[in-house]
């Protein structure tokens, strides 16, 4: 059985009674992750790929070991398809710049969705402006799920690129990724999946999904900030020019010109976030130890409980689909109380609650609200913390009456 109390003992931040309900923003880190990073700093702190002495070789080995762990974690065909980035945002920008500028032409169509995070909207808007392309968005229905009828209509226009989230960070909506990728590929599109809220919470098999690119962040899956992943099909990555230029992404540099390094290092210019990548590897080890099926089952149990508990509060509006079709995210609004005020009151009770537009302003406009409050759950969340949130909500209602 999944023992959430035993899991929490690996996270020192919970020693003082904190109820952390903002894991969709950034997750907490267990001792195993911070310990792996500290071991690097204290025992083999050095640069990678650049020296022949022992500690540099150890650092390089640990750094590259994470790449194999990620490859297995998402079932990529090769470590050459695993590119280190600073996170999902940089990974999507890399594709927009390196693939997009070479392949998206004037008049081409880019299909996005109204559920998307700004990181999966703004890079494509910049590309569309630069290359003369057009963008159209798939809307949602009243349950907060993508309108598949509209998606199919847009595919009939033969878009050059289709990009959408695996899971909505703002509503928790789990999109039908397999079906959408298959339909987009059949229409001739290149497909990128924003997996920032997907990879940390459920098994991901990029070969089974069939997508061309899949991006996610380490800091949302128990790892440190500053380390993320872009998966890309090898043949696409081989054809793409580098995103950044400088040290370590070259084979040779002469005054006449430069030849680039092989994959994956062609896209990893400069000194990398070595400790953070090693920490990400430890986070993958930790999640593998828990078992991603157990992670998903625990989150569903907590989400079901939270949905039921919050639904019983008078004056509270829940956004998004029912628990069976959402991940561990609950967004809501309280009559007469701004989400920022609620978050401030919750903080007095040591309940960490997100309030704002969640980097999804087009979605907030679609919902007709300026912001929502958002509770999000992960491997360490207790049902008792949901009860504490409910208590904070009722206290806010008492104060504002």
Enumerate the active-site residues: 359
Q: How far apart, in whole angstroms, are the C-alpha atoms of residue 297 and residue 84? A: 29
Q: How many CB atoms lie within 10 A of CB 47?
A: 15
Angle between helix 31-43 and helix 274-290 axes, rounded to 10 deg: 150
What are the backbone angles phi and psi of residue 138, rounded to the nearest 5°?
-80, 130
Give the residue ranges of DSSP H helices in 258-291: 274-290
Q: Please enumerate in sequence order all residues whose Cβ is within 8 A of that of 340, keeping only pairs 6 or more positions apart, or say none.
A: 355, 356, 371
Question: What tokens does 156 get?
Answer: 């009939």
Distance CA(265)–CA(267), nearest Å, equals 5
Helices then strands, each counted (H, E), the chain: 15, 14
| Measured distance CA(100)–CA(235) in Å, rounded | 15
Widest CA span in the chain: 74
Could you give phi then psi for residue 3, rounded to 5 degrees? Answer: -110, 90
Token pair 């590929």: residue: 185
Cβ neighbours for 237, distance < 8 A, ≥ 6 positions apart: 80, 81, 83, 263, 264, 266, 267
How many whole angstroms separate alpha carbon 28 and alpha carbon 161? 34
Q: How are beta strands 19-21 and 316-319 bridged, if at all?
A: unpaired
How far is Cα 164 from Cα 178, in angstroms, rounded to an integer? 12
Angle at the Cα of 191 (from 282 to 104), degrees rounded to 5? 120
């Amino acid at each position: 059985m999944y023992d959430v109390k035993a899991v929490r003992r690996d996270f020192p931040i919970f020693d003082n009674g904190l109820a952390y309900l903002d894991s969709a923003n950034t997750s907490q880190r267990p001792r195993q992750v911070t310990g792996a990073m500290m071991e690097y700093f204290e025992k083999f702190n050095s640069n990678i790929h650049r020296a022949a002495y022992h500690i540099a070789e150890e650092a390089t080995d640990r750094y590259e070991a994470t790449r194999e762990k990620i490859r297995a974690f998402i079932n990529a065909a090769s470590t050459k398809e695993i590119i280190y980035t600073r996170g999902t945002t940089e990974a999507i920008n890399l594709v927009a710049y390196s693939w997009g500028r070479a392949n998206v032409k004037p008049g081409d169509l880019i299909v996005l969705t109204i559920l998307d995070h700004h990181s999966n909207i703004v890079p494509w808007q910049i590309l569309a402006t630069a290359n003369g392309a057009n963008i159209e968005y798939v809307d949602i229905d009243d349950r907060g799920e993508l309108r598949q009828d509209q998606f199919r209509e847009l595919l009939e226009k033969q878009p050059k690129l289709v990009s959408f989230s695996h899971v909505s960070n703002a509503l928790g909506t789990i999109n039908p990724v397999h079906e959408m990728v298959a339909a987009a590929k059949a229409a001739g599109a290149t497909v990128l999946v924003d997996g920032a809220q997907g990879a940390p919470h459920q098994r991901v098999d990029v070969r089974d999904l069939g997508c061309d690119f899949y991006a996610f962040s380490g800091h949302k899956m128990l790892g440190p900030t500053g380390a993320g992943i872009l998966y890309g099909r090898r043949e696409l990555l081989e054809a793409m020019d580098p995103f950044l230029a400088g040290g370590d992404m070259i084979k040779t540099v002469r005054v006449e010109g430069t030849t680039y390094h092989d994959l994956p290092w062609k896209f990893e210019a400069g000194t990398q976030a070595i400790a953070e990548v090693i920490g990400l590897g430890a986070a993958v080890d930790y999640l593998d130890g828990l078992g991603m099926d157990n992670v998903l089952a625990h989150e569903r149990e907590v989400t079901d409980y939270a949905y039921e508990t919050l639904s019983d509060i008078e004056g509270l509006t829940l956004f998004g689909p029912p628990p069976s079709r959402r991940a561990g995210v609950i967004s809501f609004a309280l009559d007469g109380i701004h989400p920022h005020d609620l978050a401030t009151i919750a903080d007095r009770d040591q309940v960490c609650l997100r309030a704002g537009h969640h980097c999804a302003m087009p979605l907030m406009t679609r919902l007709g609200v300026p912001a929502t409050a958002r509770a999000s759950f992960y491997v360490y969340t207790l049902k008792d913390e949901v009860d504490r949130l409910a208590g904070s909500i009722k206290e806010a209602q008492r104060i504002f009456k």
